[in-house]
């Protein structure tokens, strides 16, 4: 077994929040998740409470992450973990781990859950 840094086996990304005051950014078709939506019982998340528009994505410069990304909340609530079941976007309250072929995303999920690292 070899000890490695997460950044060597995953791409670590975060998100941002389109202006809530701009209605043209909201109630679209693109999934956008916040840490408050993740519970201790979540494993794979397929849907989000809020959706953003293509305009919100383009003008905010949001980058999506693919299905299979491990989501780890870094803001309240801290330490919640799930796996994205589809492509989605998020706010700045997550560190998202897009796993390379050097690590299994389910292994990383259970590692975070068992270690309570945050």
> Which residue range(s) make up the domain with 52?
6-115
Rama region for 116: left / alpha / beta (φ>0; ψ in -120 to 50; rest)? left
Report the number of distinct structural domains present in the chain: 1
Q: Which residues of 21-51 are buried (b: 16+ CB within 10 A; e: fewer)?
A: eeeebbebebbbbbbebbeeeeeebeebebb
pLDDT averaged per 10 residues in sequence order, the chain, 118 residues = 93 96 98 96 97 97 98 94 98 98 97 76
Task: Report if residue 54 sits inside a domain.
Answer: yes
Provide the pLDDT for residue 35. Answer: 97
- Residue 80 domain-assigned (yes or no): yes
Q: Do 83 and 109 meet the contact criterion of CB atoms below 8 Å apart?
A: yes
Q: Is residue 1 part of a domain?
A: no
- By the 10 Å C-beta count (0-12 exposed, 13-18 middle, 19+ buried), 107 is classed as exposed
Show Cβ contacts of residue 23 under 8 Å, excluding neighbours closer than 6 positions.
none
What was the pLDDT predicted at 31?
A: 99
CATH of residue 47: 3.90.220.20
Q: Rounded to an integer, what distance in angstroms lies between the CA atom of residue 78 and that of residue 100?
A: 24
pLDDT of res. 116: 63
């Amino acid at each position: 077994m070899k000890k490695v840094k997460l950044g060597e086996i995953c791409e670590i990304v975060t998100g941002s929040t389109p202006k809530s005051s701009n209605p043209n950014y909201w109630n679209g078709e693109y999934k956008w998740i916040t840490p408050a939506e993740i519970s201790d019982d979540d494993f794979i998340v397929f849907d989000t409470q809020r959706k953003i528009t293509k305009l919100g994505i383009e003008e905010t410069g949001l980058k999506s992450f693919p299905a299979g990304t491990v989501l780890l909340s870094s803001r309240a609530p801290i330490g919640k973990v799930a796996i994205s079941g589809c492509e989605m976007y998020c706010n700045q309250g997550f560190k998202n781990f897009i796993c390379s072929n050097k690590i299994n995303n389910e292994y990383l999920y259970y590692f975070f859950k068992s270690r309570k690292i945050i």
